[in-house]
Amino acid sequence: MLNKKVLVKSVTSLSEARYCAGMFVDYISFDLNEESEYYVPKKKLEEIRGWLSGVKILGSLGTADVSLITASLEEYGLDGFLFSPEQFHLLPLVDTPLKVLEWSDDVALLPFIPDPEVILLLTSAEAARENQLADLDNEILQGFDFENVKSETERINGFAFMGSFEKQVGISAHSELMEALEYIEENY
């Protein structure tokens, strides 16, 4: 069982999703944007979700249209939403119990994000090491570099990783993810 929170973003295959659930990953995110190389159609997402238990399912969608985000949350039966940095202004407008904000900009701006219930996913290594994080009430995840699991950042509650593509059915390229999760399991 993992003692740090873990999010895996842009999962595209059943085998990777099942591995994540088996390792007690907290959150799995699926890309719902049809233009994305990581896009997972509704039927495939439903099939994958049918095999999972104990993991929160998030979606991401590259739009600033709140009604499309809300419709996706309902249509896919999602537990929450992964907001891009460009969507941070939508946080108070989208009604979902689980909000994750991916953030790569200046951490000095984070105290101005209104909702302490939002999980912050920092994608800049420099941002995660800033002293300014100590004043935040948010849960903070560090992503997406697999080597982040070996860093000694006190304020980090967990880690985020990118999913991988299946080479062929049942054969994924998620060996780095496996190593990172095993490291977390053994060292935290």
Triad 38, 58, 82: Cα angle to 5°: 80
* Of residues 108 and 83, more confidently modeled: 83
% of the chain at pLDDT higher than 90 = 56
Collect all residues with Cβ–Cβ distance below 8 Å to 16 and sequence separation of at least 6. 8, 163, 164, 166, 172, 174, 177
Compute the mean pLDDT over every residue in the chain, rounded to the nearest whole number: 87
Give me the amino acid identity at 112: F
Count structural domains, the chain.
1
Closest CA to 21 of 180, 181, 173, 169: 181
**Structural domain that includes position 17:** 5-187
Phi and psi for 87 in degrees, rounded to 5?
Answer: -100, 5
**DSSP symbol at 83:** E
Alpha carbon distance 31, 44 (integer Å): 12
pLDDT of residue 145: 86
% of the chain at pLDDT higher than 70 = 89
pLDDT digits (tens, 9 = 90+) for 36-86: 999 999 999 999 999 999 999 999 999 999 999 999 999 999 999 999 999
64: domain CATH number is: 3.20.20.70
Element spanning 66, H or E:
helix 66-76
Task: Decide if pLDDT at 171 tops 60.
Answer: no
Task: Decide if pLDDT at 94 tops 80.
Answer: yes
pLDDT digits (tens, 9 = 90+) for 121-136: 988 766 655 566 777 7
pLDDT of residue 155: 76
